Chain A
Amino acid sequence: MVEHGDIRVVHRGGSKINFREPVITSDSRFLLCASGECVKVFSSSTEECIHDLRGHTDLVTGVLLKPSNHLQVYSCSADGTVRLWDFTDGILIKTYVIGYPIYSIHASAKHEGVIFVVTATVSDKRTESFQLVAVHLPQSGDQLVEARELSAVLSNVSSNPAAIDFGRGGEYIASASGLLLEVFFFKKQKAYRFSLKEDNKKGGKNTFMCISCHPKDDCIATGHEDGKIRLWRNFNHQKEYTYTTLHWHHNAVSSLCFTPEGTNLLSGGIESVLVQWRYNQESQKDFLPRLGAAITHISVSPDGELFCTSHSDNKITIIQSCVKVSAVIQGLVKGENVKTDLMVDPRSKSLVLNGKPGHLQFYSLQRDKLLYNLDIVQQEFIHELGLQQFEVVNAAFDASGSWLATVEERKQKDTELELNLKLWAFDEQTQSFVLNTTISAPHEDRITDMCLCHADESQTTVLVSTSKDGHFKAWQLAAAAHTEADEGPSWMCDFVGAYHSMVPQCCCFSADGSLLAVSFQEVVTVWSPASWELLTTLSQPPGAIRNLCFGRLSCSKYLLGTTANNLLCCWNLLTCSLEWSTSMDVSLLLADPISENMAAFCCQAGATDLFLFKPSEPRPLFSQKAVCSGKVTRAVFAPREEMLESCEESSQWLNRSQLYFLTQYMDLMTFTTKAEEDRLMAASKQLVIDDTVAMTPFYLLLGKHRQHENQVTPSDPSAEREPLPQGSVAIKELLQTPAHVLPSTSFLCSMFVRSLLISVTDTSAESKPAEEEMESEKEEEDSEGEMETSSSRPTQQTSVGVGVTESADSPALTKAQVRELRRVRKLDHSWITGLLDP
């Protein structure tokens, strides 16, 4: 097999934001959280993702504010590196290479130049054991530093970062794993171990879940599996230690956190209630209930104003002073499993799948944001163990995205199956789906497959559903003749089909909607939707058909199917014969809607392989072994917003669409090429280059403002001219500038509005300010001349070069703008660099 080194499986979009504890910056304006392979920076007030910190090549496993500089943040990853970022600008400052996968990161102000990371114990591979390692960060100016000075602090720690915490500003570190609490005092270099019994007499489970140390007092709070919280004191005695037990949670305490002043203790668990205990007045407690889902992490902003809870449904809630939920950041909701297929909404290009119970979620992959939830079941969800609820089990879009069909079912006993088929029309006015028809009990048994087709000639949409009751039904939109006039058209059953009383498994429309293929066990029947006659049958026994797929575009004469007997068959519909077949255990067959490509996921030896092929070609376009462990049952091709221009043969299939799939652990993964990755990296690297420029904008804008005062006023309409605002370099500059170096908004507002105005160019008007500009430029040069150093010259030259190429990209740039930009680039602001450097 050809190795494709440049195509990788990555987490992109829809990754967990509740994987690790989020971090609130010291000014409470930003929220940082690990998400897949990047760190996301959210605004804590607007819930908006400001930017991603990209650079890690594996799962990010921890985010931590640098104790000595509150504007920088460490992140650690399973790729064995710790990276230091400037999170306001999204600049990677340093990369420390540790060399071992890192599971969590800890640091305290008392240990300067040292970070503590949890790595797997190297010695034995079989049992998973972890150790806490102190890493001395070398003082070096390089971007990429190898940190080789490691010293083990504690062994047999938990990989859960919530189980390790520093106490009293770094005097000691406490770690809990299993039934053992270990406290290590740095000054005395002495460790104390306290163990609990596995079960107490009343059946409580004493396993430690999480830990939090009081910031000032010597008190360690530990959360346990049976819902108890213990407050340990006097733990510098092996024998005379003591603890207080608090019990409110009825299930495991998943997170604990002391507020920065130590006046309160926050705890949360599956109850989805945030509990606030008064320190030393533990009988008084406050509750914030109904947070929606089980709490997995709690963090507090350094000023204690904001609390932040992560939830099991991939959500982060920001809470103001324990009373008010001020913001909710919702990621892709992942339940136990996805009953519906992964789908792409043709209108919004968003990923659609099961979300909250009874809902479909629309998730924008490009923006990595949950757009909205569509309530399908429209019933109150009752949290109770063992209670059967309605579940959305099937959904289908038509090609234009104007119709959505959903199936929900509830099974209480074997005999009572409740089924509802719902059809939703897209309402242009409200820009959402509106329920059009509800068909209760559309079939007598479970619906196995469903597809919608927009037939071109009749301009009607047909829905075909196959069911275990042995029939497939075609539904069509028909005007309601016999009901009241004000009701619009609704869906009716048009045709009921069956074949030798066999059970249909799957159905598929051809791309033009002229053919319908329905598989009945090992037989594929091909029907004409126009007349509902059976055209032909294809069969390749033995083995029931699992998947059916029509080829697209140039391959539309092919019909592909996979059987339970590990066979992938391709029929030619013109000859009605088998074109080719190959033996492979295909768990999922998928056609790209905008190309001929088809993807087949094969499960082999506990791992899934991917084959990408064209039905007309014998050789696969691309194949990758062991894409992920476990079986892949859900995948989708999502069209790209902008095409990639890759010429390599193996990665051409990724040019127009992207393949997303769900692993068995419900991780959404996708394939990316090296070029694409480089481009993304470049986008963040560009910011690094901008770094030298980034010092200037404050100056730039002040200078600009001054310039406007004496220049723009006389010839206002001619100052700037542009067809589209986003093409303007000035605005780009304005928007890319970090917020903290910008002058006040009122100051910028008029300038910004002016830049958006489209004005007619007047050559005479243009030349005049140009002269003035030249003058001012000279002035500036004079005043700044003595500060300039010769060494900084070349860099300025290059940056000007960049500016020129940029302006070449955007043709709307006027001469005046280019000149202004050039002038701005020439200014030396290296003195600011000197000031800002720590």
Chain B
Amino acid sequence: MGEFKVHRVRFFDYMPCAISAMAFHRHSERLAVARADGAVEVFCFADNYFQEKVIPGQDGRAVEALCWVGQRLFSAGLNGEITEYDLENLRPRYTVEAYGGPIWTISSNSQGTLLAVGCDDGTVKMFEILEERIQFQRNLDRQKGRIISLSWHPSGTLIAAGMMDMIRIFDAETGHATHRLLVERGVGASKSKEVVVWSIVFLSDHTIISGDSAGKVQIWDGFTGTLVRTHLVTKWDVLALSVSQDESSLVAGTSEGTVVQFQFLSSTVDQQDKEWIRTRTFKNHSHDVRALVHTDTAVVSGGMDTQLVVRPLLDKVEKKTQESALRKIAFPHRNLVCCAKKAGLLLFQFPDHLEVWRVGESDGHGKPGDSLLVKRKPEKLIQLKTKGEDHICCSALSPCGGWLAYSTVSSVRLYRLQYNNNISITKVSRLPKELRWAHQLCFSSDSSKLFASSTHSTVIVVALNQLECKYLQTLKPKSGSRQPVHLLFASEDGKWLASANTDCEVHVYNLQKLKLHCTVPVYNSCPTAVAINPATSNLVVAHADQQIFEYSLVQKEYTEWSRKLQKQGLHSLWLERDTLITNITFNPKNPAHIILHDMFMFCIVDQSLPLPEAKAILYNQMTLRSLPEPERIRHSHAFKICKNFQHLLCVTLLEDHSLVVVERPLLEIMSQLPAPVRQKKFAT
């Protein structure tokens, strides 16, 4: 495996934002997740829960509700605006002011023609969904008190609205309220407090299910407006409800972090009279469960503790498969860390600022496993706040450390850094007009060029020198894909540029000729990391389904090793890992070594060693150490996995062959969260 001096970096205070809303597009199996900072992420469940798209947030734009209408994604927030997103360019397409105060909820009818929003002033506003925009249609009868939650009846004729202390049912055609269901307040001290109907579900059999701040899940008859059953679920609030598509199962998320499942079951086996019965309780969160989605096979929940949890329902999936494993998605599936290999600098990307750090130094020599004395402490060189209210969507630091670039949805900024006695940062004022915004930024290895991906998977090449920066070329793929590029990699020898987009295409451009060199055969899973081995000019691609390919750029075909790997297949334990490879680097000392990492481990793939057999132990570093030298060779295989460092954000090699490991332990994230609601624990 080799020995490395490791910079164990723990000073990246990355703090993910709380999840505030979710919406699931059943047809394409895409989940849209809104976070408290206004960012919207799209996860593709069909492709191993890969985080395909991230639309950066904005100061003061808290998304309260999300809604898919066909392929279009709408959001509404407490700023009173409805926003439609451009999912191809990863930016808001337009916003419409609803003029009803803060918007709490948004919901479209099943036909996809109308959008209803619930406003703080007590109105339910209907918007007509047009081809390119939405248009205000009318208000339903105005109520006293805010509209917190909305749910359409599947027929589209009725709409139920959860309010303070009550639920209203409106006729969607006339706009008049037809029923008024009074929700009981909590007992005890909360008697004087208004009860908030946080979430409501209107089922096709005219059953209405509500979750409220008194901790109740109530089942109402929508025809008569009478209460059928009350389930007291928690002492705190029931914040979210979600029903499965066949309306046989319902989940409720509470402030205690639990998700309670209800099932529509018949009391005796052969009979048809069914009722909603509380069945399972899942506890995968430490804080409020703010958003819930009941997919066909799983319950997806998210909340204050920032993790997205996919809890498969074991009665819907095959047991002991990859699908039946619980998944927690804590880190983004893209790099927030950029490493200047030559200068030993690290760039950390936060939503609204950037930090540049210099790694520490030590001169000691020690045995493997020792921690060395730090001679020079790591040092924060620059903290750069963004201008404007838009958040950063991507950033890059040049390998020499002399250039820093970042992009928001509205602009790209480029800075020149100089490290003399004191650090100076100067903004490059005149950027070419082609460089308006970028999905990904990347510097060439000699820091002479900046690559920025733009619309329709194009890459803009800008030449940099001391005085000016000059637009050189726009590289276009032949496929004409409209999807954004989410990965860019410039090879260290300066010859190649690889770009990957969410259509799963990987294009390789020849930088000397500044034209498309080849397109790697399209695999059906999205690439999560690409890199080009400078020694062999082989492109290594890791995909969301954990497959690894090696493609020879010279021969324009998969390499022998890659074919062998595909033929033999990857080890089952490798395929069962639930976090994705987010970064690939190479060891210049040994070109046969590929260094990969995911959240829980990093792995050195030694291409010269045989691949592990299906029955071999994959994690065999400890057993190898105990074996005598001659046997060790016999037992060793290509995948050498190290789990010493946990919750990795980045693993990369510096030019002096020391390894930089950026860790962010989840416990530290947990400790920075606000205190959860108080719960009585037994024997405390």
Contact = CB atoms under 8 A, between A and B. Distances in A.
B265 A245 contact: no
B277 A280 contact: yes
Interface in B266-285: 266-269, 277-281
Given A239-B315, A241-B315, A218 B279 contact: no
Interface in B307-327: 315-316
Contacts of B263: 233-234, 242
Contacts of B281: 245
Nearest to A242: B279
A236 B278 CA distance: 18
Contacts of B261: 242
A218 B277 contact: no
A243 B314 CA distance: 12
Contact of B268 (A216, A243, A244): A216
Interface in B240-265: 261, 263, 265
Interface on chain A toward B: helix, strand, loop, or mixed SS? loop
A236 B280 CA distance: 18
Contacts of A234: 263, 265
Contacts of A280: 229, 277
A240 B263 CA distance: 11
A236 to B, nearest CB: 5
A434 B459 CA distance: 103
B419 interface: no
Contact of B267 (A218, A236, A242, A282): A218
Nearest to A168: B268
A283 B261 CA distance: 15
B265 A242 contact: yes
Given A250-B682, A283-B232, A244 B280 contact: yes
A243 B315 CA distance: 11
Nearest to B314: A239
A245 B280 contact: yes
B267 A244 contact: no
B278 A218 contact: no
Contacts of A250: 682-683
Contacts of A243: 279-280
A213 to B, nearest CB: 12
Contact of B269 (A216, A236, A239, A283): A236
Interface string B646-684: 000000000000000000000000000000000000110
Contacts of A240: 315-316
A120 interface: no
Contacts of A282: 278
A282 B279 CA distance: 11
Give the contact-size bracket for chain B. 20 to 34
Interface in A227-242: 233-234, 236-237, 239-242
A107 interface: no
Contacts of B267: 216-219
A242 B278 CA distance: 10
Contacts of A217: 267-268
A233 B265 contact: yes
Contacts of B316: 240
Interface in A138-170: 168
Interface string A467-498: 00000000000000000000000000000000
Contacts of B279: 233, 242-244
Nearest to A233: B265
A689 B682 CA distance: 61
Nearest to A245: B281
Interface in A190-248: 216-219, 233-234, 236-237, 239-245
Interface residues of A, number: 21
Interface on chain B toward A: helix, strand, loop, or mixed SS? strand
B315 A233 contact: no
A242 B281 CA distance: 11
B350 to A, nearest CB: 34
B89 to A, nearest CB: 43
A239 B318 CA distance: 9
Contacts of B683: 250
A168 B270 CA distance: 12
Given A280-B277, A283-B232, A242 B315 contact: yes
A179 to B, nearest CB: 15
Contact of A218 (B231, B232, B233, B269): B269
Nearest to B268: A218
Nearest to A247: B682
Nearest to B215: A283
B277 A244 contact: yes
A654 B183 CA distance: 78
Contacts of B682: 250
Contacts of A239: 315
Contacts of A219: 267
A219 B268 CA distance: 8
Nearest to B261: A242
Contacts of B229: 280
Contacts of A244: 277-280
Nearest to A238: B315
Contacts of A237: 315
Contacts of B231: 283
A207 to B, nearest CB: 20
Contacts of B280: 242-245
B263 to A, nearest CB: 6
A670 to B, nearest CB: 45
Contacts of A233: 263, 265, 277, 279
A522 B616 CA distance: 68
Contacts of B233: 283
A217 B265 CA distance: 11
A278 to B, nearest CB: 11
B593 to A, nearest CB: 36
A242 B315 CA distance: 8
Interface in B98-118: none
A168 B267 CA distance: 11
A236 B263 CA distance: 15
Interface in A275-311: 280, 282-284
A184 to B, nearest CB: 13
A156 to B, nearest CB: 22
Contacts of A218: 266-269
Nearest to A240: B315
B228 to A, nearest CB: 12
A133 B250 CA distance: 41
B236 to A, nearest CB: 14
Interface in B450-491: none
A657 B126 CA distance: 97
A245 B263 CA distance: 14
Contacts of B268: 168, 216-218
B564 to A, nearest CB: 38
Nearest to B229: A280
Contacts of A283: 231-233
A237 B314 CA distance: 13
A253 to B, nearest CB: 15
A249 to B, nearest CB: 10
A282 B278 CA distance: 9
A135 B466 CA distance: 99
Interface string B273-309: 0000111110000000000000000000000000000
Nearest to B235: A283
19 contacts: A217-B268, A218-B266, A219-B267, A233-B263, A234-B265, A237-B315, A240-B316, A241-B315, A242-B261, A242-B263, A242-B265, A242-B280, A243-B279, A243-B280, A244-B280, A245-B280, A250-B682, A250-B683, A283-B231
Interface of A: 168, 216-219, 233-234, 236-237, 239-245, 250, 280, 282-284
Interface of B: 229, 231-233, 261, 263, 265-269, 277-281, 315-316, 682-683
Across the A-B interface, give the 7 residue pairs with the lowest CB-CB distance, nearest first: A217-B267, A283-B232, A242-B279, A240-B315, A236-B269, A244-B279, A218-B269
Given A234-B265, A242-B265, 7 more contacts: A216-B268, A218-B268, A233-B277, A241-B315, A250-B682, A280-B277, A283-B233
